Amino acid sequence: MGLTFAENHPPLCRTCWKLPFHAALLFALWLTGCNNTCFTFTSNPPTGTIGIKVSDPKPTCTLTTGSAVRLAVQTVPMCNSCSGSGRIQHVFVSIRGIEVHPSSTADDDPTDWQQLAPQLAKQPLQVDLVRDTADASERESLGEIVTVPSGIYRQLRVRFVPNQPIPEDRLPEKNACASVGFNCVVMADGRIQPILLDSGSPMLRIMSDRIEGGSLFLPSGTDSDLVIELKPVWAWFSSTDDGVRLLPALTGKAKVGRIEFDELGSLER
């Protein structure tokens, strides 16, 4: 009976190597999802030999998973119909970092955030959020195009130069806020008021409820335009020296668009 069974069902013996082959193949495919793993796979079906070699990744085995991003700040047109002394002439902010995070509940640990503008850490940039134009779509570019890991980001934060920096802080090349600091509102009558920011680590977090669509989707292999909208709002501020005052603070929004970079200016090489 044993010989008859073997003669009638030879495929079962010749194909039994496929089970470990399939298992090894699934394991190898799972390894490809690891960020720090490369593998080589060999199989010798007649002898039943299957080998997998895992090693540190080399440049040639890393897939392209980056998204080209250009940052811009949305500017607002000047209010020419507002009263003379109460009209805002300029809103200057000094930016030293822009970062994103995939989690909407991320803490402040800088190692967990993806930096979008590393050049600003070395040389902060002061920009004016107000334009003397009626074009509400005008934008201020924040530098060169950068490549960042593709993915979905649910939180963005903008870090500013403190109004009272310490000696180790990098400062912008130009400062239009005079003695009040590096972030300010300039009124039409010449008054300059500092923007209310956290003195320790001044930053503005833009959460998912302030992001168009709830998240920033940066797909692999695409060119994206990330636009940040910063606007001044008035808030009551209390201090022992000046009492209660109405000072400008900042609120923000963010969105991602797929546009031709020529609309923001040609890429300089």
- Answer for the pair 106, 112: CB distance below 8 angstroms, yes or no: yes
Structure tokens that stand for 127 in this block: 């920009």
Output the pLDDT for position 144.
81
With 0-12 / 13-18 / 19 or more C-beta atoms within 10 angstroms meaning exposed / middle / buried, residue 71 is buried
> Are the C-beta atoms of 98 and 159 separated by less than 8 Å?
yes
Strands (E) located in the chain: 38-44, 49-55, 66-74, 76-77, 88-101, 114-115, 125-128, 130-131, 139-141, 146-149, 151-153, 155-160, 184-187, 192-194, 203-206, 216-218, 223-239, 243-257
DSSP 268: P
Closest listed residue to residue 124, CA positions, set 145, 144, 96:
96
pLDDT in single tens digits along all 269 residues of the chain: 433 333 344 444 444 445 454 554 444 444 444 444 444 444 455 555 444 444 444 444 434 478 999 999 998 888 766 766 678 899 999 999 999 999 998 888 877 899 999 999 999 999 999 987 666 668 888 888 889 999 999 999 999 999 999 999 999 999 999 999 999 999 888 899 999 887 677 999 999 999 999 999 999 888 899 999 998 887 776 666 655 667 788 899 999 986 443 443 333 32
The strand pairing partners of 126, in sequence order, are: 94
Question: What are all long-range contacts of 238-243, with beta carbons under 8 Å and residues at least 24 apart?
Answer: none
